[in-house]
Structure 1
Amino acid sequence: MNIEMLMQGASKKENFMFRGGGAPQEEILALEEHYKITLPDDYRSFLHKFGFVAWFGDYICGLVEEKTRFGKTFNVYKKTDYFHDLYNNSEYKPVPTYGVVINKYDGGGYYFLFSQESERAGEVGLFLTETYGQEVSKFKSFTDYLSFLVTGTPDPEPVDVDYDKIMDIIED
């Protein structure tokens, strides 16, 4: 399924919203320049056509018009910087370098989209607070992650968690 079809499904969800007209290319390029990354094509397309998306119970961060009431909540800059500040200055595993945070996990943690510079280009990983910032599952692409939010498929792939490392942190 492509992003347009998935967004048609998302548009049927309660309180659906997005940035009318999407984000201009200049804003997308500024995001890439700010983090010194190249975004995956499917997320770039999403940003250009929709900017961000939200509905009752979920959202995907993107480029939001600053003066709107959602300028802080769904802003990819704000989410990415927040989790860098929270995780990188603590006992948690640091947030990966190449990419952006596209959603928070309500149980504590975040979804991270890996940029083209990463060995994991295009993947979306779920990193949890309860595992001290270790990744617990992943999607092969941003499109798969969007599909999961909208349709419930595909399921994320589990990732091995180093529980010995967690025990070492707890015991210290």
Structure 2
Amino acid sequence: MFHPTRRQLSLSLLAVLAACGTPQPRPQFKTYSGPPVTQIVVYKGQRRMHLLSGRTVLKSYDFGLGNQPVGHKQFDGDGKTPEGLYYVDRFNPRSRYHLSVGISYPNERDKAYAAQFGRHPGGDIMFHGRGPEGNRLAPKNRDWTAGCITVTDEEIEDIYAMLRPGVPVMIYP
């Protein structure tokens, strides 16, 4: 006759408890199954961004910018958002601004320009949500980041799901 050990009984009990009544976690990320985003076009002056597939606009968003929104980012700490052609190059699911998607600033031209002045060009430019800090700052000042492009937390969830590494990002003044 089989006599289970105390350890076997404990493991069995834990397995039963784990299977019963434990709420299943909600999926952490949205998914997207539509046409691929082939380009992001950002118009800083209009505060309007478009995610395109070919020539078709899939989604458009209003956004906030760096705390010095006019002009191209040149140096670390200038509060400006870059202008020109960049690429999606990273994703941060643990951003302090909910979620974030990085762009490839600084490029070689940006680095060379800053080096002429013995300065650093800055970096870590992202599309991101507001998160707790942005939700506090955004109602008072639309342009509050250090140079990033910010949307609502819900909107960054959509953007995060839609984008892939290498998507070109064209940022106009």
Q: So what's the TM-score if we normalise by structure 1?
A: 0.25
* Bigger radius of gyration among the two: 2
Q: Greater relative contact order (Cα 8 A, min sep 6): structure 1 or 2?
A: 2
Bigger share in strand: 2
Bigger share in helix: 1
Q: So what's the TM-score if we normalise by structure 2?
A: 0.25
